[in-house]
Structures are given as structure tokens and as C-alpha cells.
A and B are shown apart, each in its own frame.
Chain A
Amino acid sequence: NAGVTQTPKFRVLKTGQSMTLLCAQDMNHEYMYWYRQDPGMGLRLIHYSVGEGTTAKGEVPDGYNVSRLKKQNFLLGLESAAPSQTSVYFCASSYPRTGDGYTFGSGTRLTVV
């Protein structure tokens, strides 16, 4: 099925551990995004990319790094996980046409203990 695939779906990390979240899309979208959603809050943008090899910071980039080496993949890294990074992470992709909306993945639920 065409869409956005996030790996893994669930993960528990210990404080200080590192991990990488993988996002893959097969719609040939130019733009890709990483958002986090905390209870009772909306989606906050962590980082985004407007094309292969480019990345930019969003609202809450601290503690995260990203890479877009291939157009279809967008990786989100946590170098040293903290309990404050416990959240649900959503990846999305889109064409540059603003009114078309994003296609979201199903999310990764991350718990840092």
C-alpha cells in the first residue's frame, strides 16, 4: 500500500540511550516532516526537509538530529534520550503544494525511562 511507513511502532529506551526512527514514503513527495505529539497537545514540528540532502529545524529541535540522504527516507535520531522525549512521533510527507495536506505515518510510541 502506498503511504508513509514508520519503524519501529513502539520502543522503550533507558535514559542516555540512543536510537533512530525511520520514515519511508513511496509517493515521491519532496517534503518530509517529523512531529511529536504529547498528551492534550497538538503536533509540534521537530525537523523537516524540503528535498533530498536538505533539513531544517522546527519548533522543538533540541535533542534530535535528522538526515535525508535519499528522497524517500527521513531519519530522526535521538543521541542521548531523556524522559522529556517520551512522546508519540509522527512522520509525514507532502508535495510542495501547500493546500494538498500531509500524508502521515501511523506513529512511533517512544517511552524513555
Chain B
Amino acid sequence: DQQVKQNSPSLSVQEGRISILNCDYTNSMFDYFLWYKKYPAEGPTFLISISSIKDKNEDGRFTVFLNKSAKHLSLHIVPSQPGDSAVYFCAASSTNAGKSTFGDGTTLTVKP
């Protein structure tokens, strides 16, 4: 049973517009949610995280929203830039578990 799901394998947006990447989870014990970005032939890079006690966290062009009742989170990128084209992984973990569970990723393409 996949505990973290990213239902959209791919997303294409125009440069300057908003990119919205979605993630759903099933385990109520998760209390931290993270987003990573991955370019081809490189390891993932940590982007932004949010604690379950918050509903929003912002870092520059990146904002993560958490809806605990729906067990859903989303990453907003505004404005999108061609350099944002990458695979984005959602991950979830519970404090003291010592490990994260990852979704399958969404490939974002930002067209100039």
C-alpha cells in the first residue's frame, strides 16, 4: 500500500505562470512533509518542508500548503522558470521514525 502518492506523473506550464504539484498521503502518523527536486543524473535536493502543525510554509518562489483533514499537500511555484524543470518528489515522515517515505515523483516542464 503506497502511503505517499503523487497522482500526476507529469505537468507542463508556461514560463511565468504558476506550477502546482500535488501529493496525497494515507498515514495519519506523518507529521513532517518535504519536497525534493531532482535533475537528471543528480541526486535529489531538499527544497522545502512543512510541519503538521502548520498549514503553509513559504520560501521565496516556493510555497507548500498542507490540508491535514484531506491528507493532501501541494507545492506552488510562482513564477515558474525554465530552470525549475525537474522531477519533484513529495516525502513524508514521522518524528523519531528516522526515515522518510517518498512518492513516485512528478516531472515538471516549464516552457519558455
List the interface of chain A (C-beta within 8 A of B): 4, 31, 33, 35, 40-45, 48, 50, 56, 58, 90, 92, 96, 98-107
Contacts and interface: CB of A to CB of B under 8 A. Distances in A.
Contacts of A105: 43
A31 B98 contact: yes
A90 B93 contact: no
Interface of B: 4, 6, 9, 31-32, 34, 36, 41-47, 49-51, 89, 93-95, 97-105
Contacts of A48: 98-99
Nearest to B44: A104
B106 to A, nearest CB: 10
A42 B105 CA distance: 6
Given A42-B104, A42-B105, A98 B43 contact: no
A100 B49 contact: yes
B46 A101 contact: yes
B102 A106 contact: no
B112 to A, nearest CB: 26
A34 B43 CA distance: 12
B42 A98 contact: no
Nearest to A31: B98
Contacts of B93: 98
Contact of B98 (A43, A56, A101): A56
Given A40-B104, A41-B104, A50-B98, A98 B31 contact: yes
A44 B101 CA distance: 8
Greatest chain B CB density within 10 A among A4, A101, A105 is at: A101
Given A43-B89, A99-B51, A104 B99 contact: no
A42 B101 CA distance: 9
Given A33-B99, A42-B103, A43-B102, A104 B32 contact: no
Nearest to B100: A102
A33 B50 CA distance: 21
